[in-house]
Homo-oligomer: A and B are copies of this chain.
Amino acid sequence: MNTAIHGMIEELKERIDADRISTNETVIEQHSKDESYHTPSNPDVVVFPKTTKEVSEIMKIANQYEVPVVPFGLGSSLEGHVIPYDHGISMDFSLMKQIVEIREKDFLVTVQPGITREELNAELKKYGLFFPVDPGANATIGGMAATNASGTMSVKYGIMRDNVRDMEVVLADGSIIHTGSLAAKSSSGLHLNGLFIGSEGTLGCFTEITLRVYGIPEHITAARACFETIDDAVEAVVAILQAGIPIARIELVDEPSIEQVNKHSKTNYPVKPTLFLEFHGNEQGLKQDVSFMREIVQDFQCSEIHFETETAERNKLWDARHNLAYAYIHGHPGRKLMVTDVCLPITELAGAIRHAREALTRLDLPGGIVGHVGDGNYHVLLMIKPDDPVEMEKTNQLNEEIVQYALKRGGTCTGEHGVGIGKQKYQKQEHGDALQVMEKIKQVLDPKNILNPNKLVSGTLQDL
């Protein structure tokens, strides 16, 4: 630890209770990593603010000492977002997890960033409401806003960027702004809300987030549809979307992933390429949608379709889907999770998944394919040994091929996990000269490059 850090910690102690400023080895180690295969790196100090004012004080001191600050939620990121490669402060939001206000009749809730999506939904349920963005992890709302997370229901309810109406943000110099308002729409000012969502801690620390929430649907029907080939399953998805059936969830789980699900969640699902589906609506409309969907899947050799109308069975199905990454992790002790995350226009999806399958076979990698296929987003899950150079080379080769396939067809290198450090090498290719615009914005809002430096975009302008 250098002298600047030491001086800064002393100054922090004048503003924040000493027991919320930690250099304890275990605490440091907990903040050195995320859930990905990326190499850990220690922060110098972990600080646990309790209020927006404290976050602002910490940023002012960090700015004065030019010490990096990495906001930290639960560490469930998948591309190294929260790993402090430049050391400095890991700002842990676990003590800021209040629900600030529920405006039930406006379908709005304001929370602090440290609350998790499951904690929030437990509270919202009392009001007949729910928040639909549901990434695999029980992530914090702050982390989900920082990566522009999405999930199984985004095909109907949208992604974080669609559901965050306002944020209170502490900037690099400690000043505090709001990025939106409580209005459902606005053409006032430049749209900072969308810019800060998905900024991965590089533009500011979120201290309050106002979310749009929804009434729990009157009727819900979930289904599991099994197919003979993954191609048939994906083509069925495309047909359902093109028929305009307003589906709430449509998830692909391939055979290796069904095997992991069965082992981990004690289910007994047929080991076949499977779609997990859900419909939300009124009773009559839902019946008509479901019967139309039934007709369509028959055209694609659907061998079995099983409906779950009971809440308990439905929850079991979706828990199994959500726990899939953990099923892989627990099924492969000593290995680390690596997940691809491209998203393409829907007509390119079947080809992309076929291509990924072929690449897995060719490279002899044991991976599962799952995805939010209604959005054109799919993942290959691999359990790897990061210290095995041959395996790492094959894994990187796979990721490279998958990303190149997507970028050539108008897609993106990351549909929902974000850039972190894992997707930085594709930023120039994906965004072209727009990357320079992003870098200029980063530079003007964080001139000392202290906010999660060298993640997402570089803080120093590249010659493009």
Residue ranges of A at the interface with B (Cβ–Cβ < 8 Å): 103, 105-108, 147-150, 154, 159, 161-162, 171, 175-179, 181-195, 197-199, 203, 214-215, 217-218, 238, 242, 244, 246, 281-289, 292, 341, 343-347, 375-377, 406, 409-419, 423, 426-427, 430-435, 437-438, 440-445, 456-457
Contact A437 B194 (CB under 8 A): no
Contact A105 B242 (CB under 8 A): yes
Candidates B106, B162, B346; contact of A105 at CB < 8 Å: B346
Cβ–Cβ < 8 Å partners of A344 in chain B: 182-183
Least distance between A293 CB and chain B CB atoms (Å) = 11
Contact A187 B416 (CB under 8 A): yes
Contact B434 A178 (CB under 8 A): yes
Q: Which of A285, A432, A435 has the most CB of B within 10 A?
A: A285
Contact B375 A185 (CB under 8 A): yes
Cβ–Cβ < 8 Å partners of A423 in chain B: 188
Cβ–Cβ < 8 Å partners of A426 in chain B: 188
Cβ–Cβ < 8 Å partners of A179 in chain B: 434
Q: What are 8 contact pairs spanning A and B, CB under 8 A? A: A183-B406, A184-B375, A185-B343, A188-B412, A188-B426, A190-B203, A193-B194, A214-B244
Closest to A292 in B: B282
Candidates B188, B191, B345; contact of A183 at CB < 8 Å: B345
Contact B376 A183 (CB under 8 A): yes
Contact B183 A410 (CB under 8 A): yes
* Further pairs besides A148-B186, A186-B414: 20, Cβ < 8 Å: A176-B433, A177-B433, A178-B431, A182-B344, A182-B411, A183-B376, A184-B345, A188-B418, A188-B430, A189-B419, A189-B430, A189-B438, A189-B456, A190-B199, A191-B198, A192-B437, A218-B244, A282-B292, A440-B445, A443-B444
Contact A187 B415 (CB under 8 A): yes
Contact B438 A192 (CB under 8 A): yes
